[in-house]
Amino acid sequence: MSINIILAGPRGKMGSSAVNMILNNDKFELVACLDHKNENKTLKEILPQFESDIPIYTDMDKLFTEVKADVFVDLTIPEVGYQHTLAALKNGLRPVVGTSGFTEDEINTLRNLAKEKELGAIIAPNFAVGAVLMMEFSKQAAKYFPDVEIIEKHHDNKLDAPSGTAVKTLDLINSVREEKTQGHPEEYEVLDGARGAKSHGVHVHSVRLPGLVAHQEVIFGGESQLFTIKHDSFDRESFMDGIDLSINKVLELNELVYGLEYIL
């Protein structure tokens, strides 16, 4: 029996890759797409590479009234992704969300609603399995190397900084590391922001340039040594295995899970 899926954000690079993955998976059925324009058009009209008459909606209420689905995949931006995810849960769908930049309060609201509705939901700052392992390995390393900085690099169309992956990495590191001031106690910035953002003493630096996709280095410093954990995604295809896994796994959950590591 196929899993019926609604996808939000089909025209983005991540979204179009996910459309291709879903259409080529025998277990999945793409039944509709949510877009901020192109009402009453079909998928092949907005993405000619796909010979599909799947309908495009701009109105969430109309979409959830007219289309029945099991899973709602959101690959949009934080400003609308949160509202999409909230509406999906209220309408009995199980969200799989690759949109980063949600606030802690927003995640808690979604978590409480998923629990109330007894619906599975997955929010993953990064769907690449290698990136998840990078975050987990960083957590382990932080027990032994408390001096650490993060450099994350993404394409120049990314809106949020630091990335959701960097924020998740910080959370994992800080869960095992005592807060510590790093660098010289009297250091100062000649240019504002030169030392990056800071969380519990960990500095994080965000790079935004064309040509990049998604990259992160976690650099640990110790006496006479450096230990670096690095992950690079060179194409959005690197995220598709994680989305595939999440669509299958979310049907088995009755609560919200934040992070792919909890379902691997």
- Which residues, 6 or more positions from 173, have their beta carbon under 8 angstroms from its beta carbon? 138, 139, 142, 148, 202, 218
The whole-angstrom distance between residue 3's C-alpha and the CA centroid of its chain comes to 21
Same domain, 223 and 141: yes
| pLDDT number for residue 261 | 87
Same domain, 156 and 99: no
Same domain, 63 and 156: no
Same domain, 148 and 227: yes
| pLDDT number for residue 100 | 76
**Reduced DSSP (H G I as helix, E B as strand, rest coil) percent helix, strand, coil of the chain, to 5:** 35, 25, 40
249 is catalytic: no
**Per-residue pLDDT tens for 108-136?**
999 999 999 999 999 998 899 999 999 99
Same domain, 207 and 156: yes
Which DSSP state fits 123?
E
Token reading at 82: 């949160």
| pLDDT number for residue 136 | 95
Same domain, 227 and 241: no
**Per-residue pLDDT tens for 1-48?**
899 999 999 999 899 999 999 999 999 999 999 998 888 899 999 999
197, 149 Cβ separation under 8 angstroms: no
Pairing of strands 256-258, 121-123: parallel
Same domain, 93 and 196: no
Same domain, 257 and 188: no
Catalytic residue among 158, 205, 231, 249: 158
Q: Low-confidence residues of the chain, pLDDT below 50?
A: none
Same domain, 148 and 83: no
| pLDDT number for residue 159 | 86
The angle subtended at Cα 43 by Cα 81 and Cα 72, nearest 5°, is: 35
| pLDDT number for residue 38 | 86
Same domain, 7 and 119: yes
Please tell me the total count of domains within the chain.
2
| pLDDT number for residue 78 | 84
Q: Is residue 117 packed enough to be buried (19+ CB in 10 Å), middle (13-18) or exposed (0-12)?
A: middle
Catalytic residue among 84, 139, 153, 154: 154
| pLDDT number for residue 1 | 81
Same domain, 159 and 98: no
- Tell me the torsion sign for CA atoms 179, 185, 186, 191: negative
155 is catalytic: no
The parent domain of residue 160 ranges over: 129-233
The residue to which tokens 């989305």 are assigned: 243
| pLDDT number for residue 43 | 95
This prediction's pTM? 0.82
187: CATH: 3.30.360.10
96: CATH: 3.40.50.720
Query: What is the Cα–Cα distance from 55 to 45, expressed in whole angstroms?
Result: 10
